[in-house]
Amino acid sequence: MLTSLRSMAFVPALLIAGCSGSEPTTADDPMDDPEPGAEDPGQEQPQDDFEDPTPTPAPADDNYQPKLFSATRFGVFYQVTKDVLDEYQAVDGKGLPKVAGHAWLITQSHATAYASKGLADMVHRRDDFYYAPAFDLWDAKHDGWQTATTAQLRTWAHNFRDAALAAHADLFTFNEAPTTTGTSASIRVKIATILRAIHEPDAKGRVLWGVTYLTEKAATVSAYDSPASDFFKAIDDTSIALVAEHYHSTGFVCTLSETELATHYFAFRKWLVASGEPAKLSIANKKYTVLHSSRYNDGPSGWAGGDSSVTSLATYQKALSRIAKVTRATEGGINRISFAPTSTNITLFGVQPRITALMRWHYVHTGPQTQELSCIDNFGGNCTCN
């Protein structure tokens, strides 16, 4: 995203939700107690419209320069398909709003390649969209990363960076810090090494900034047995966003009160703030982004979200509105939000108009005005699903 990010000015988060106490839990939410070793929810491979079934050599480097990132507010999406990107980029008042100081980040995992120029070209149809291909930690290309040498980690990272730049990436995605991050200093060192190496300027001086994802446990206070200061400094030094994954079910979203949801989503941010450490404060105030499940399809799933066989689209739309309202009304959440996965083999397309409507509702203004904090059309029933 960026060459002069350290001097970015972000709109301060001004609103404080009345939330205290311990983090709520529910046995109904499979992602509160993930399967041992499961990192990517459900191990379901999202569809990638942009993967070449017969891989060809990476495109020649044409000296593309990543776009400067200066947005003060942004939305982050993980995994799009072409139909979803067409919806998001619509300019007839139905897509994501195009407003000064706002940006939309498309983070994408490609099954066999590091990046796709085809997707980059589509993302760049609007200048407020940024393409961030993923360095997938758990991809077979990186087998053994937990014990790999620093030299090997740097080689992987530089190969990824060069491929991403050749494909016209604006940013990079790091996917994803595992459940053991809080208790393993070794894991944190490996991840920090990869982040710093991807972020290093290439031979032409070009720099990619990152969007770093944490699994839910890696974004849970109780999962840390140390301050992990060096780890968070590496994230702050290399990334414009730290995304905390919350793949929760409709039942979880609709059963808990708004105060309980706010506490759950933002407890980790409060821990970062309480540390008083400059890097953690920077992350908390400029980069901490809560990811919500936008999955809606038949049956249960590790991606959680809505089960279309038992939950109506109308109810699920209200759950999404409830999530957005809570995020915007909580300190540290007004400027940033994330939804995943948006690929249509996991999320029925009918969810997308609700996401774009929520973004238009919450992003019309640049400050915490009433319209940003209420339900769509100022009607409480639009985000009351219990």
| Torsion 373-376-381-384 (CA) sign | negative
Q: What is the rounded CA–CA span in Å between residue 142 and residue 324? A: 35
Extended beta strands in 179-275, E state: 209-214, 239-246
In a domain, 12, yes or no: no
In a domain, 178, yes or no: yes
In a domain, 7, yes or no: no
Contact by Cβ (8 Å): 29, 251: yes
Omega into 36 within 30° of 0, i.e. cis? Answer: no
In sequence order, which residues have a C-beta less than 8 Å from that of residue 286 and are 6 or more positions away? 8, 10
Does the predicted model carry a pTM greater than 0.95?
no
In a domain, 79, yes or no: yes
CATH number of the domain that 90 lies in?
3.20.20
| Helix (H/G/I), strand (E/B), else coil: 49 | coil
Q: What is the rounded CA–CA span in Å between residue 224 and residue 166? A: 37
In a domain, 66, yes or no: no
Q: Please give the chain's pLDDT, 386 residues, in tens.
A: 322 222 233 232 322 222 222 333 343 443 343 333 334 453 455 667 776 554 555 567 788 999 999 998 999 999 999 999 999 999 877 899 998 899 999 999 997 889 999 999 999 999 999 999 999 999 999 999 999 999 999 999 999 999 999 999 999 999 999 999 999 999 999 999 999 999 999 999 999 999 999 999 999 999 999 999 999 999 999 999 999 999 999 999 999 999 999 999 999 999 999 999 999 999 999 999 999 999 999 999 999 999 999 999 999 999 999 999 999 999 999 899 999 999 998 999 999 999 999 998 887 766 667 777 788 888 889 999 86
Q: What is the rounded CA–CA span in Å between residue 156 and residue 322? A: 40
In a domain, 113, yes or no: yes
In sequence order, which residues have a C-beta less than 8 Å from that of residue 304 and are 6 or more positions away? 29, 30, 31, 41, 247, 248, 249, 252, 293, 295
In a domain, 273, yes or no: yes
Spatial CA neighbour of 320 closest among 367, 364, 352, 366: 352
**Domain of residue 156, residue span:** 74-383
Per the structure, the count of domains in the chain is 1
In a domain, 218, yes or no: yes
DSSP state of 57: P
